[in-house]
Chain A
Amino acid sequence: MECRKENRDGVIVLAVDGAIDHETAAAFEQAVMPSLDEAEAAGTGLVFDMSGVDYMSSVGLRVLMLAAKAAKQKSISVVVAGLQPSLAEIFQISRFDKIFTIYDSADAAVAGVRG
């Protein structure tokens, strides 16, 4: 699992590749929290670009929930983009689609966060 962070027009985009499971969840969480701080400093939001994620179990969902809670505290947006079909199903089954706004692409998500 790899995470790549970039700033697009003031919005922090965290692109994730690979599987988020019990072996990689800690590293994922370590990448997420500083990204939230940067998004807070920019006053915008964080986009999870999940287009490279082919597997996520409950531990990965937990990190996303932690991010959502932290974002609420920081008054910033956290959105998800580029879900592969299997992950989109997991979001629906876990009801995470009710918690996160989901975009088809990172570009659309950045535009959405910027408003």
Chain B
Amino acid sequence: MQVKFWGTRGSLPVAMKADKVRGKIVQALQAARGKNLDDDQAIADFVDNDLDFSVAGTYGGASSCVEIDFGDDEFVLCDMGSGLREFGFDSLRRINEGGKKGAYSFFMSHPHWDHIMGFPFFAPAFMPTNNLKIHGGHDIEFALRRQQDNPSFPVPLDWMGAPREFHVMKDGEVLDTGAFTVKIRKQPHHGDSYGYRFEKGGKTVVYTTDAEHKLDDLDDFNAHIDFMRDADLVIFDTMYSMADAISVKEDWGHSSNIVAVDMCHQAGVKHLAMFHHEPVFDDAMILQNHTETIRYEELVRPGEDVLRISCAYDGLVIDL
């Protein structure tokens, strides 16, 4: 099983501007002072090994879109944020190269704009040879149709030629696709959101974004810990600091790195991927958040098992 992140930003896509790029170049050159970088390999090694990810790379700016590859010939996506556009082109390349066919299954957390905005630009949806199955706890067809209706977009949904099926799932429903099983769980968010627990061959991935797990709702808290129980990978909304999440941004519908680690510890999760990054944060701030979360896990670790913590970025691939 392989997970690839095509969009990891929350609320709104963002793009790095020239001043940030310049800042990274300056930092890299400062770090290169006195180093022997006479050949291309030495330069590549320096970039890969000696620079922080916030300098050598970027967490990206596309909104939520995560691919789960179960090793068969179909595509499975969580959400249709702006990252879906690039995925769409990549999927067509992979179909042309063989090994994949044009069958796409989507599992939608909810129809807020940042989670559906990539669909009008999803090239495979225009091709009658492909087919789409769109699952979710909401009426996703209504949301997509409205998004592409006048005056918001010039290409209505019905101009997209690939056959589409919409499947509204009930809270707690388990779907056996033949290739994997998936369970849906309603989560606390404005208008509700839904998390998904995917299982295949003894491996489990949980996609749980846009959820505000309030610590005084123990029923939800404990039920969600059970939903994440023993997962190999949990993709979790860590958009706000704990302080913000329970004060000025209370009821904004998102969680924190602190709650993520605590829940993962209690659920026996092996690997946490921090997700749905605050659009205001630049790469240095996201890296700081990641580093601090790793340190928090060390401080509160209940036993000897280490919770591995990644910070999702556009293009990250995790093999399970």
Quick one: which of A55, A68, A93, A98 has the most chain B CB within 10 A? A93
- A59, B243: Cβ atoms closer than 8 Å: no
B232-260 to A contact mask, C-beta < 8 Å, 1/0: 00000000011110110000000011110
Does any Cβ of B come within 8 Å of A62's Cβ? Answer: yes
Given A89-B299, A94-B258, are A61 and B266 neighbors across the interface (CB < 8 Å)? no
Q: Name the prevailing secondary structure of the B interface residues.
A: helix
Residues of B in contact with A, size category: 20 to 34
Chain B residues near A92 (CB-CB < 8 A): 292
- B243, A58: Cβ atoms closer than 8 Å: no
Q: Could you tell me the distance in whole angstroms from the C-beta of B214 to the nearest C-beta in chain A?
A: 9
Which residue of B has the minimal Cβ distance to A92? B292
**Bound Cα distance A61, B244 (Å):** 12
Does any Cβ of B come within 8 Å of A99's Cβ? Answer: yes
Chain B residues near A89 (CB-CB < 8 A): 295-296, 299
Which residue of B has the minimal Cβ distance to A98? B243
Quick one: which of A59, A90, A94 has the most chain B CB within 10 A? A94
A6-44 to B contact mask, C-beta < 8 Å, 1/0: 000000000000000010000000000000000000000
Does any Cβ of B come within 8 Å of A57's Cβ? Answer: yes
- B299, A99: Cβ atoms closer than 8 Å: no
Does any Cβ of B come within 8 Å of A101's Cβ? Answer: no
Does any Cβ of A come within 8 Å of B215's Cβ? Answer: yes
- B243, A95: Cβ atoms closer than 8 Å: yes
- B266, A86: Cβ atoms closer than 8 Å: no
- B242, A57: Cβ atoms closer than 8 Å: no
Q: Name the prevailing secondary structure of the A interface residues.
A: helix
Given A62-B216, A89-B299, are A96 and B242 neighbors across the interface (CB < 8 Å)? yes
Does any Cβ of B come within 8 Å of A65's Cβ? Answer: yes
Given A22-B266, A93-B258, A93-B292, are A61 and B300 neighbors across the interface (CB < 8 Å)? no
Chain B residues near A68 (CB-CB < 8 A): 247
- B266, A94: Cβ atoms closer than 8 Å: no
Chain B residues near A99 (CB-CB < 8 A): 243, 247
- A96, B215: Cβ atoms closer than 8 Å: no
Chain B residues near A59 (CB-CB < 8 A): 215, 262
A51-90 to B contact mask, C-beta < 8 Å, 1/0: 0000101110110010011000000000000000010011
B255-283 to A contact mask, C-beta < 8 Å, 1/0: 01111001000100000000000000000
**Bound Cα distance A89, B300 (Å):** 11
CB within 8 Å of A: which B20-78 residues: none
Does any Cβ of A come within 8 Å of B109's Cβ? Answer: no
- A58, B266: Cβ atoms closer than 8 Å: no
- A90, B300: Cβ atoms closer than 8 Å: yes
**Bound Cα distance A103, B243 (Å):** 19
- Chain B positions within 8 Å of A, measured between CB atoms, are 215-216, 241-244, 246-247, 256-259, 262, 266, 292-293, 295-296, 299-300
- Chain A positions within 8 Å of B, measured between CB atoms, are 22, 55, 57-59, 61-62, 65, 68-69, 86, 89-90, 92-96, 98-99
